[in-house]
Chain A
Amino acid sequence: MAPPMIDPSLFDQLKAKIEEDTSVRKELDQILDDLNEHVSFTQGVLSRIHATPRSKYAALLEQVEGGIRKEIETVGRLATFASQYPYYKYNYKWTRTVQDAISTVILCAWLGGMSSETKPGEVGRLLTLEDMGELFGVPVNLKDRDAFHITIEEYLLGLISVIDELGRLSVNSVTLGDNAMAVQISGFIKDLHAGFQVLNLKNDTLRKRVDSIKYAVKKVEDVVYDLSLRNLIPPQEDK
């Protein structure tokens, strides 16, 4: 008797694998629902900086940090769960959310939040990829083993969102009478723009987002131009 076309055990084996894959995704979705909720809350709180004078940042940032603590906790859960599986198999599911979480942390720190014992919070502080790993308690740019981590792309894309947000803030800070803030943002964004130009980009998401930085640069330059035209730029004490 000739052997059957398909070994019956093959079907069961493949079916079991597909079902396992599906249940992993379901579990991930649940964790990501939580993370999304925390991230969008934090983003919502952060959006109030556009209507908050600098003197009242402290109270606002405290609230933001509360949201960030929840983000960190949820990312921890995600890291524990996702590290059991090949990282890049499921990375696409959370990369957007993690980028947004990163951007809330970078923005909060830039505005003077996220102070730690070693690094006091001050306006204009940029957290690096390594800082990000420390804060979230996960590795970054992992290459030698297969586990959850924050990638370079995620950090850079998060940073670009911050640049957009600061572009908007430069306008609103002037409205609130804080011209010095607009000037500081201008310097920061121009420096980052120069930094992004150092990268060799391929035609991918990152390149498209990097291309958008120039609009933020133009926006802040226009603001600074308006200020200088009217002699509204405050004299710089330092330097």
Chain B
Amino acid sequence: MSGLKRDWTGSAKQRDGPKPVQKQVARNAYTPMFEQLRNELDEHHDRRERIVKASRDITGLAKKIIFSLQRVRRIEGQLPANIQAEVDSRLAEIAKLLATLAPEIQGINRYRYARSLMCLEELVEALTFAHYLKTQTLIGYEQLSRVVEDLARQAAAPPAPAPGTEDEVMTDVRDTPAASPPEKPTQPAAQTPSSTPTISLTQDDYLYGVFDLTGEMMRFATTSTALTGTMAGGGGEGDGGEDDDPRTIVQDMHELGSFFEMLPVAPGNRFAWEKKLTVTRQSVQKVERLGYDRIIRGSERPKGWIPDLAAGERGQAEELE
């Protein structure tokens, strides 16, 4: 026999007896007030818990989208079909989560739980990166905001969306910007009732997401240069292939870097801003270095100049091209 509990006199205590009645908290004049406040606080805590959970899931999905996108090797109007399919299915899942989240963060609650909504930064990162890979441009704040709003709305709308609605969100990102951007996103919005709660992006969500975009662009530049031997950039499908000097990702990184250097520090969290800016500077310099390396020993060397070094590498690169 083991596990017998005894009281101080040594006689065995009864196990599994009826549970002692839960001690009633002594009531006093203030108890009702505290009970009312407790209910209010519980509501707040429960809501935050739900938001944190959904946010974590969305972050995970957005990260997976980014990993899929990192398997892309060049900037062109259309993502490879298999990657596009992966991105679409993840986005559909994100849309569902956003739709469950939307009613919780309406009005005053949008900023109340802003710190629990880090997922939006991650989503911005994924969407801006996808947009960049297709168009070699940075999607604007308002345009992206509409994309996210439509994502949340489309899954929330109970009637089955018109065929192709899901694709439309992605076409916003996929379309070449040669078509005028403002008219596109209005269509899905018009189909759904405007009363459907949706999720608005704050400017901070956007800016911090774009900060992270520079890191993804750096990784993309590194792998694509290493594997294709060319610097990712213009000359892809659609846009001015005849331009004598198509823009490369090096110039894009420079422009993005200066963009952040010129912006005044956002006053919300200066520390976070400075940290992100430092990382961005490092990413810019890494891509710079890539551009330099490619000029020095790259395959697109000036005519007539044949480096003795890295000859093998060059041959390989030319094959790939």
A residues adjacent to B (C-beta < 8 A):
1-7, 9-11, 13-15, 17-19, 21-22, 25, 86-89, 126, 128-129, 141-147, 152-153, 156, 191-192, 194-202
Given contacts A6-B255, A22-B264, A145-B107, contact A195 B41 (CB under 8 A): no
Which residues, 143 to 190 on B, are CB-close (under 8 Å) to A?
177-178
Which residues, 5 to 63 on B, are CB-close (under 8 Å) to A?
25-26, 28-31, 33-35, 37-38, 40-42, 45
Given contacts A6-B255, A22-B264, A200-B42, contact A14 B26 (CB under 8 A): no
A216-B258 Cα distance, complex, nearest whole Å: 56
Evaluate contact between B137 and A200: CB separation under 8 angstroms. no
Evaluate contact between B141 and A10: CB separation under 8 angstroms. yes
Evaluate contact between A13 and B45: CB separation under 8 angstroms. no
How many residues of chain B are within 8 Å of chain A by beta carbon?
A: 51
The chain B residue sitting closest to A142, CB to CB, is B108
Given contacts A3-B178, A6-B137, A198-B25, contact A152 B108 (CB under 8 A): no
A32-B32 Cα distance, complex, nearest whole Å: 34
Q: CB < 8 Å: which of A10, A87, A89, A195 contacts B31?
A: A195
Given contacts A17-B203, A191-B29, A200-B38, contact A5 B251 (CB under 8 A): yes
A9-B109 Cα distance, complex, nearest whole Å: 30
A66 to chain B, nearest CB (A): 29
Given pairs A1-B243, A5-B255, A153-B41, 19 additional interface contacts (CB within 8 A): A1-B240, A3-B137, A5-B247, A5-B252, A6-B137, A7-B137, A7-B140, A13-B142, A14-B141, A14-B207, A18-B265, A88-B108, A126-B30, A156-B37, A191-B30, A192-B30, A199-B38, A199-B41, A200-B45
Evaluate contact between B263 and A14: CB separation under 8 angstroms. yes
B residues adjacent to A (C-beta < 8 A):
25-26, 28-31, 33-35, 37-38, 40-42, 45, 107-112, 114, 135-138, 140-142, 177-178, 203, 207, 234, 239-240, 243, 246-247, 251-252, 255-256, 259, 262-268
A143-B112 Cα distance, complex, nearest whole Å: 11
Q: CB < 8 Å: which of B35, B108, B247, B251 contacts A145?
A: B108
